[in-house]
């Protein structure tokens, strides 16, 4: 299996606080990998470092065989490493359509952008209905769909989703996970950060559990689901 | 009736000037939330750039013909645009993550540096612009509008429409609007935020520079402090329209121009600035988001 992303011994400090203390993980081609862990475990810091908005103090990030440690975020987007941030961060005063167009900022080919936007509208018809509305007027679930749709326009090869289920009703969580599954089936590698371990392990094939900036447990989704530590801490009895 | 129309025309004319300067003010505020107090001085630099070119190259360009003036206007816009870009690069970018007050103080410092830099280079006395427009005028229902005023208003409107189209329709313009809302998320879209900020400074400064050249040619006299008051007026216009909003800046400028025009007619010209800045205070108190202040009810 070819490797899309390889993170080795990553160290990140916020001032004197060590956020990551030698974290390693890999994501293979067309694989969905889940990153689990409590608040403050370092999940968001990990994806932020991969996408170039947080500086690594040590360790390496390799994507598609290239060293991309501390590369510029726009170069990483151009390589197809797309990060959907926590809290969705859609542009609330741009229309839904404009939000999608912004997602294709690094794509030079205007026709490709239009085709991909049409595909996203097919996949997420709610967005098509609301294409002229300002992003900020959408519901939380619709905003999450828009954030994922916006990422799709860039043509991701590795999609990193930070807490896509946060603050959503259970039915909406299921819909978001369905979309994630569709994306994986199309061959895109996905790194999925979740506190909702139950939902995440349904779509992911493998997972890592983070604690205080290091990986404490890793393995296939089935193995993690059966691991008593995971059950106790994240899945409930 | 004629008198009324005359006041309206005067107000629109002054408003067009304010608008050219207010746009840059508002764009820069919109994108990096900085009140660029040096912006009025970019307008002054535009006037001096035009003056220098006219003085040195007037013969080569065929004197004070309209064509020469347009060429000089364009060159001055490129020069002031570049200066604005350099100003951002040197004075503001290193302070991007500093507290806003530090950047504000830097902007005031930059303003003084530009003003007194020009005072050193050109001397403190006013310079007479080597070209002027004639007084030929057209009559519209009894109100007078000189051809020069008409021409300048047209140029201003043209530049504003071009800007509005750029911001509303193009990829760069969209990126600019996105950055004004969430610069960090823009990084994740693959937008080189620094580049877009540079572009914004270039465009805003070029517009102010255009205003400066036109002011020089119209009023005939320029000096190193000429940007101070117009900078404040442009700020007022931007606030009235809703700072950060581009159409708002134009609307605010026109409103301010009209207010001044009518205020001066009622109270006398010595009250003009009192009137204008009184309105600034009024707006900041009553409606700080301005006429077109951007607000949207956001759901979480």
CATH code of the domain containing A189: 3.40.50.300
Least confidently predicted of A146-150, B54-58, B67-71, B81-85: B54-58
The pLDDT, as a whole number, for residue B58 is 61
Q: How many domains does chain A have?
A: 1
Specify if A103 maps to a domain. no
A64: left (phi over 0), alpha (psi -120 to 50) or beta: left
Q: Does B221 touch chain A (CB under 8 A)?
A: no
Percent of chain B past pLDDT 90, that is, above it, reads 64
Residue B66 CA to residue A163 CA, distance in Å, equals 61
Q: Is the pLDDT of residue A119 over 50?
A: yes
pLDDT at B300 over 50: no
**Is a pLDDT exceeding 80 seen at residue B131?**
no
Q: Mean pLDDT lowest for which of B47-51, B142-146, B150-154, B240-244? A: B142-146
- Mean of pLDDT values over A78-94: 94
ipTM of the prediction greater than 0.90, yes or no: yes
* The length of chain A, given as a count of residues: 237
Nearest by CB: A92 against B189, B190, B298: B298
- Give the pLDDT confidence of B81-110 residue by residue, as tens digits: 999 999 999 999 999 889 989 999 999 999
* CB-nearest partner of B192 from A53, A74, A92: A74
Average pLDDT over residues A197-220: 93
> Cβ contact (<8 Å) for A53 and B189?
no
A8 occurs within a structural domain: yes
Would you say residue A113 lies in a domain?
A: no
Contact A94/B at CB under 8 A: yes
- CB atoms near residue B117 (< 10 Å): 13
Examine the pLDDT at A97 and tell me if it is beyond 60: yes
Please check whether residue A203 is in contact with residue A181, taking contact to mean a CB–CB distance below 8 angstroms: yes
Burial of A154-182, coded b for 16+ CB within 10 Å and e otherwise, reads bbbbbbbbbbbbbebeeebbebbbebbee
Sign of CA dihedral A117, A119, A124, A130: positive
Give the best residue of A89, A145, A156 to mutate against chain B (max B CB count within 10 A).
A89
Percentage of the residues of chain A whose pLDDT score is greater than 90:
81
Q: Is residue A208 a part of any domain in this protein?
A: yes
Among the partner-chain residues A51, A105, A139, the one whose CB lies closest to the CB of B299 is: A139
What is the overall mean pLDDT for chain A?
A: 93
* B190: chain A residues, CB-CB within 8 Å: 73-74, 76-78, 105-106, 154
Q: Is residue A32 part of a domain?
A: yes
Task: Taking each helix axis as running N to C, give the angle between helix B147-169 and helix B171-181, from 0 to 180 degrees, rounded to the nearest 10.
Answer: 80
Q: Stretch B37-51: mean pLDDT, rounded?
A: 95
Q: Is residue A109 part of a domain?
A: no
CB-based contact, A170 to chain B, within 8 Å: no
Question: Measured between alpha carbons, how far is residue B55 from residues A83, B42, B58, B162 in Å?
Answer: 55, 20, 6, 30
Distance of residue B298 Cα from the nearest chain A Cα, in angstroms:
5
- Residue A143: count of CB within 10 angstroms of its CB: 25
- Mean pLDDT, residues A6-16: 94
Question: Which positions in chain A touch B187 (Cβ < 8 Å)?
Answer: 52-53, 73-74
Listed residue (A108, A96, A196, A79) closest to A148, CA to CA: A96
The two beta strands, A214-220 and A206-211, are antiparallel
Closest to B172 measured CA to CA, from B148, B138, B151, B198 = B198
Predicted confidence at residue B296, as pLDDT, reads: 44
Q: What is the pLDDT of residue B63?
A: 53
| CATH no. for B2-286 | 1.10.3470
* B297 confidence band (pLDDT: 50, 70, 90): very low
Domain that holds residue A192: 3-88+156-235
Q: What is the pLDDT of residue B61?
A: 54
pLDDT band (50, 70, 90) for residue B134: low
Is residue A131 pLDDT above 80, yes or no? yes
Taking only the tens place, the pLDDT of each residue in B238-293 is 999 988 888 899 999 999 999 999 999 988 888 888 888 998 999 889 888 888 87
Residues comprising chain B, all counted: 300
Domain contains A108: no
């Amino acid at each position: 299996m070819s490797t899309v992303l390889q993170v080795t011994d990553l160290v990140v400090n916020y001032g004197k606080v060590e956020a990551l203390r030698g974290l390693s993980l890999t994501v293979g081609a067309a694989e969905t990998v889940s990153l689990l862990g409590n608040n403050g475990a370092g999940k968001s810091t990990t994806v932020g470092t991969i996408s170039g908005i947080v500086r690594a103090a040590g360790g390496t990030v390799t994507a598609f065989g290239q060293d991309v440690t501390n590369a510029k975020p726009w170069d990483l987007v151009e390589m197809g490493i797309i990060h959907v941030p926590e809290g969705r961060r859609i542009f609330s005063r741009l229309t839904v359509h404009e939000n999608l167009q912004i997602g294709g900022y690094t794509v030079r080919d205007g026709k490709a952008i239009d085709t991909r936007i049409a595909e996203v509208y097919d996949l997420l018809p709610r967005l098509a209905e609301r294409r002229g509305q300002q992003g900020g007027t959408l519901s939380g679930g619709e905003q999450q769909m828009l954030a994922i749709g916006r990422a799709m326009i860039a043509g991701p090869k590795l999609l990193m989703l930070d807490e896509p289920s946060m603050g959503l009703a259970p039915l909406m969580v299921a819909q978001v996970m369905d979309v994630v599954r569709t994306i994986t089936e199309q061959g895109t590698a996905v790194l999925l950060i979740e506190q909702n371990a139950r939902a995440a392990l349904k779509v992911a094939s493998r997972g890592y559990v983070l604690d205080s900036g290091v990986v404490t447990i890793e393995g296939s989704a089935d193995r993690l689901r059966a691991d008593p530590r995971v059950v106790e801490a994240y899945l409930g009895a | 009736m004629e008198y009324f129309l005359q006041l309206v025309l005067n107000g629109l004319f002054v408003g067009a000037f304010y608008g050219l300067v207010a746009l840059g003010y508002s764009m820069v505020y919109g994108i990096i939330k900085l009140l660029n107090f040096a912006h009025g001085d970019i307008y002054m630099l535009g006037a001096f750039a035009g003056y220098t070119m006219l003085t040195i190259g007037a013969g080569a360009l065929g004197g004070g013909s309209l064509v020469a003036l347009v060429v000089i206007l364009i060159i001055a816009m490129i020069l002031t645009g570049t200066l604005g870009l350099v100003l951002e690069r040197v004075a503001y970018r290193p302070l991007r993550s500093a507290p806003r007050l530090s950047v504000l103080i830097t902007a005031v410092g930059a303003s003084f540096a530009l003003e007194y830099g020009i005072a050193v280079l050109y001397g403190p006395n006013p310079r007479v612009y080597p070209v002027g427009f004639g007084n030929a005028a057209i009559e519209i229902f009894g109100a007078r509008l000189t051809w020069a005023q008409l021409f300048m208003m047209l140029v201003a409107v043209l530049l504003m429409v071009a800007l509005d189209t750029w911001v509303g329709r193009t990829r760069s313009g969209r990126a600019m609007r996105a950055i004004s809302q969430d610069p960090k998320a823009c990084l994740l879209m693959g937008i080189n935020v620094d580049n877009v900020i540079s572009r914004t400074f270039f465009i805003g400064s070029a517009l102010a520079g255009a205003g400066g050249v036109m002011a020089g040619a119209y009023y005939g006299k320029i000096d190193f402090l000429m940007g101070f008051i117009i900078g404040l007026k442009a700020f007022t216009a931007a606030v009235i329209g809703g700072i950060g909003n581009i159409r708002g800046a134009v609307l605010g400028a026109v409103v301010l121009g009209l207010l001044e025009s009518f205020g001066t007619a009622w109270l006398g010209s010595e009250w003009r600035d009192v009137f204008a800045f009184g309105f600034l205070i009024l707006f900041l108190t009553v409606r700080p988001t301005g006429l077109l202040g951007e607000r949207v009810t956001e759901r979480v």
